[in-house]
Structure formats: C-alpha cells, structure tokens
Structure 1
Amino acid sequence: MRVALFVTCVNDVLYPDTGRAVVTLLERLGVDVDFPTGQSCCGQPQYNTGYRHQTEPLVHRYATVFTDYDYIVTPSGSCAAMVRDNYPKIAQRATAEGRESGLSRAAAAAVPKTYELTEFLVDVLGVTDVGAYFPHTVTYHPSCHGLRTLGLGDRPHRLLQAVRGITLRELPAADECCGFGGTFAIKNPDVSTAMGHDKITHALTTGADILCGADNSCLMHLHGLITRQHTPLHTVHLAEILASTKEHPYTPATKAGNLR
C-alpha cells in the first residue's frame, strides 16, 4: 500500500506539527508514508474566488505529483473536498469550453484515492482505536466541508471516543459554520466574526478546555478570536490528539498554550 501525505498549504506554512502528527499516527499503525515534495496548493483559494482557469494547472500538478500512490491522505476536509467535489467540475467546464487538455484524466486519477484523515483511518485501515492517550476535556467542531461535502458523519467522534483519558463533550449547534469559509472571512469580516463568536460561546458551555477540529483553517479563525477575547479555550487539530500517547504526549507548543 503506497500512501502519500498531502499536507496542504495552511499546515505546511502555519501548522507543520499537524503534518508531523499524521505521519507519527500512521507509522504507529504500520503505514509507510511518503511526502512528495512537488506538492503544492490544491487550488481552492483560486477556484473559490472565481479564477477557475488559473486552478486548472494545479489539478494537473496534483494528479502528477501523486500518480504513483494508492492513497493520498490529508488532514483537511476542506482540501479533500476541493479535490473530490470540484476537480471533476473543473474538468467538465473545460470540456464544455472545448479545451479539456487532459483534465478529465487528471481528475479521474486523483479523486478516488484522495482521503481525509478520519476516512482513511476508519474506512481504509478499519480502526477507531489508534492507541491514543489525551487526558483533557474536548469538544469537537465539524467543519462544513467535512460535514456537508465529504459526509464524514461520526468518524471523528468514533476516533475521539476511543482515546484513553479523554473527556468528550458534545458541542451545541455543532452543524453551524464557524464563519471562516476562506475568502468569506475576508469579504464579510463582521459576519464571519459574529459566527466565530457564536461557535466559541457554544464551546465554552461544554466546559471543555480543548476545541478540536479536523481543519486547521477553521481552527485558525477560531483561535484568533479566542486569543483576542482572552478566552480559556485552546484549539488542537484532531490528528495531534490521535498521535498523542502516554509515552509521547501531545506538547502544545505555541498554538494551544499550556495545558494542565
């Protein structure tokens, strides 16, 4: 089984510990993971702001870079959804315009083997207990792409419920958007901020000290609001919780602050 990590731009630039956590986790489960250095952006920012033609070379690049792998695993439902949901649409539009240029082949090659992390763990490896230990109170925020586009369902919860030492609290109004939405947060900052504050308020009612998610883009948005409010809540990516063990516990570094 040839497995590659698609780390995504946000994680590569801002949250490399999440990418390392994915590798640590998968290797603990007996999976050899490669990291093709030719990978780049999936094209989501360009596509979402209307630059479809400029996204097309990135579809080709993604398919080419990962051509030798059976599975592409990413710790981002947002980027996985971009590949699986939008690459075929990009190819279809190009074909309709008479300039297909191999996009259909690229999309057909990339889409079936692209998996969000929890999908890969539960559906491909067939595990929910990954041997993790995380003695903190956690509530989980399902990001929109994972919830609505990928249909992750209860996979993240099943993985979290199997973590030793964890206290898992249900997040009220969990299916509401956090307000990030990529360029939505830039174009509609007041609405985005209000939605983020609502999400944080719901999280605080759970009594959790950790707000967990499977997309660091959402967590980045929420962490910024939490920091400015001086709220006693920390954001941690799901992969970092699942990679944590008694022998090698999660260390919060700069993003989450000190956990006690």
Structure 2
Amino acid sequence: MPTVGLFIPCYVDQMYPHVGMATLELLEQLGCKVEFPTAQTCCGQPMSNTGCTDEAKPLARKFLDVFADYEYIVAPSGSCVSMVRHHYDELVHDDKRLVPTQKKTFELCEFIVDVLKVEKIDRPFPHRVGLHQSCHGLRELRLASSSEVMGPPFGKTRQLLASMAGIELVNLERPDECCGFGGTFAVSEEAVSCMMGDDRIYDHEKSGTQVLTANDMSCLMHLQGIIARKKKPLRVMHVAEILAGHSV
C-alpha cells in the first residue's frame, strides 16, 4: 500500500474543498494510504510567476520541510506539481532534498497511470465529456501529446476517463489550446484572458460537451466564471470528482 502525502493547491483548499475530498476518496479507493499534512502552505507559484522569487523561496523550503519524507506526493493540479518539478531549481537548488522530492511529486492522473498502473476506472459516467488540457500539465508534465509535436497521440487523463462505462469523450477542434487563465495573466490582461476563455467554451459547445473537466481547478475556475456569467448550459467538474464516482 503506497503512502501518499496529499498536496492541495491554495485555491482548492479555500474555494473548492470538495475537489480535495474527491482526490482523497479516489486515492483511497485505489488502495493508497493518504495523509494530509496540515502544515502545508502555498507552493509559491503565484509569487514566482510574477517575478517575486525572493518571496517564493521560503515557501519552496517549507514544501520540502513538509513533504520530503513521504513516499509519494500527489496533487490534483498540474500547475502546482510543475512548479515543484520544474521551477524549484532556481529557488532551492542548494537543498539536498530537492531532487528526491521532485522525483516523487506527481499530478493525480499521472500518479494513477504511471505509478499505480491503473488501466480502468470501474464505474459509470454516462455523459458527454469535454477534456480541457491545461498548459502546465500538457507541455511541462507531458500528461498528453501536444499538437505541435510529431508522434503517436497519448493522453493519461483521457485514458482513465475513456475506461469508464457510458462516457462519451467529445473531440474538440483545438484540443490543447490555453483557456486564458494563466494566473496573474487573467488580472493583468483581463480582456485577452476572457476572449481566450470564450473561444474554449465555444469549442466545447460546438462539440456537444455536457460536462467540462480538467486536471487543474484554476483553469476550470476561469471557464466556470465565464459559463456562469453567460448562463451557458455546461457543468464543470474536476477530473478527480468524475473518477471518484461523484454525480453531475
């Protein structure tokens, strides 16, 4: 039974705690022993992305203090995991715990496919589902193939969803385009951010999506805001909720 330190992003903890609970449920359903260290804080991504690296450094060291001794660290967020795996080098490169911790930090679906070797989620989800591929998960964690790279297509999250009974995964015209959120980009470039979000929602509507899902609640938060303001008939669910068996 693998022991997992559950790493929950700030916005999930504060605004979407049900996504954290779904992640816990799913990991336990798959046979993991899960612990939630209450001393965890922000990974430092918002500060780092805005250029405030000095402010991000103590948060990176705090992450290592909290999680370095776990067998695995798992989070329902590609962007936060990408921060640890690809951007902590410039913050805490002198800490000998860094590389071992990076190697055992995983996004949720990545962990299920690559570590637990799960091939099928044995529960139904009879809905038309549109999968949004978040940028960090796609192009830094390589959770799926991207359209600009030649090679056989693959998708770890899509693979898990496709194994569920009754599900119909829709095919988007632009399956790996950014939603426009980008953290502080959505604040500094609000108009562009919203136009990009409109484009993604239009693609899902045209493709017949009933439930829009993703690995990152940050992307879904942005898209859900646009959907709500424009009163679109789309339901938004994090992939952990679907895989854990939550209903629409």
Query: Is the counterpart of residue 67 in structure 1 residue 68 in structure 2?
Result: yes
- 1:226 deviation in Å? 0.4
Partner of 2:110: 119
For 1:34-113, what aligned pairs fall within 5 Å after superposition?
Answer: 34-92=35-93, 103-113=94-104
* Equivalent residues of 2:61, 2:92 under 8 A apart: no
* Equivalent residues of 1:63, 1:110 under 8 A apart: yes
* Equivalent residues of 1:62, 1:110 under 8 A apart: no
Identity of aligned residues (%): 47
Partner of 2:18: 17
Q: What is the SS of the residue equivalent to 1:105?
A: coil
What TM-score, normalized to structure 1? 0.88
Q: Matches of 2:81 and 2:156 in 1, distance apart?
A: 15
- 1:2 deviation in Å? 2.0
Partner of 2:150: none
Q: In the comparison of the two structures, how many residue pairs are matched?
A: 237
| Cα-to-partner distance string for 1:98-155 (whole Å, 9 max, x where unaligned) | xxxxx43242242111000011000000003122321211010000000111100110
RMSD over aligned Cα atoms: 1.1
Q: Matches of 2:189 and 2:181 in 1, distance apart?
A: 10
* Equivalent residues of 1:133, 1:242 under 8 A apart: no
* Equivalent residues of 2:6, 2:35 under 8 A apart: yes
What TM-score, normalized to structure 2? 0.93
Partner of 2:152: none
Gap runs ≥5 in structure 1: 93-102, 245-249, 252-258
Partner of 2:173: 172
Partner of 1:187: 188
* Equivalent residues of 1:139, 1:169 under 8 A apart: yes
Partner of 2:242: 241
Partner of 1:139: 130
Q: Matches of 1:104 and 1:172 in 2, distance apart?
A: 44
* Equivalent residues of 2:6, 2:34 under 8 A apart: yes
For 1:162, give the aligned amino acid. Answer: S
| Cα-to-partner distance string for 1:26-77 (whole Å, 9 max, x where unaligned) | 1111111000000110000011111101111111110110122110000000
Q: What is the SS of the residue equivalent to 1:13?
A: helix
Partner of 1:148: 139
For 1:77, give the aligned amino acid. Answer: G
- 1:219 deviation in Å? 0.2
Partner of 2:151: none
- 1:9 deviation in Å? 0.4
| Cα-to-partner distance string for 1:183-220 (whole Å, 9 max, x where unaligned) | 00000000000000000000001111111111000000
For 1:89, give the aligned amino acid. Answer: E
Q: Matches of 1:222 and 1:37 in 2, distance apart?
A: 29
* Equivalent residues of 1:59, 1:107 under 8 A apart: no
Q: Which is worse superposed, 83-92 or 157-166?
A: 83-92
For 1:64, give the aligned amino acid. Answer: D
